């Protein structure tokens, strides 16, 4: 029996998702990012380890403190945007929650992880 996978957005990811939805009808860029987010969420539901794992020592402290993150995955989106998610056990024994922490452009992602421009 497969475990159910529920995808939940953090407040920050929810804000970006709402923004993308508002802008998508009039902006090709936001529409392409929104469509990619929706497709990637479905891929994550089908395979919870879809994204690229991020090593534990690189997980931002803010995620550990705010969301008790113990694992983190990165999914690439169009225009160098990134979606970050973590996996948690659900309320029942047969549920996994894929918790989307952030959807952000590459410069914000680089800053969050302390990457420097070359």
For the domain with range 4-112, which CATH number is right: 3.30.2310.20, 3.40.50.300, 3.30.70.100, 3.90.1300.10?
A: 3.30.2310.20
Cβ proximity of 10 and 102 under 8 Å? yes
Domain-wise residue ranges, the chain: 4-112
pLDDT (tens digit, 0 to 9) for every residue of the chain, 118 residues total?
467 888 888 888 999 999 999 999 999 999 999 999 999 999 998 898 999 999 999 998 988 998 889 999 999 999 888 999 998 887 765 556 677 877 878 788 888 777 776 5
Pairing relationship of beta strands 4-9 and 95-104 according to DSSP bridges: parallel
Indicate whether this model's pTM tops 0.85: no
Listed residue (71, 109, 84, 113) closest to 7, CA to CA: 84
What is the C-alpha separation between 95 and 93, in angstroms, rounded? 6
């Amino acid at each position: 029996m497969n475990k159910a996978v529920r995808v939940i957005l953090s407040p920050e990811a929810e804000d970006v998702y709402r923004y993308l939805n508002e802008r998508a009808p009039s902006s090709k860029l936001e529409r392409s990012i929104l469509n990619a987010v929706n497709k990637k969420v479905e891929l994550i539901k089908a395979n919870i380890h879809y994204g690229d794992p991020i090593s534990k020592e690189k997980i931002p402290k803010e995620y550990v403190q705010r969301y008790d993150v113990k694992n983190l995955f990165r999914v690439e989106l169009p225009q160098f945007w990134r979606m970050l998610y973590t996996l948690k056990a659900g309320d029942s024994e047969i549920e996994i929650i894929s918790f989307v922490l952030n959807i952000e452009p590459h410069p914000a992602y680089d800053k969050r992880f302390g990457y420097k421009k070359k």
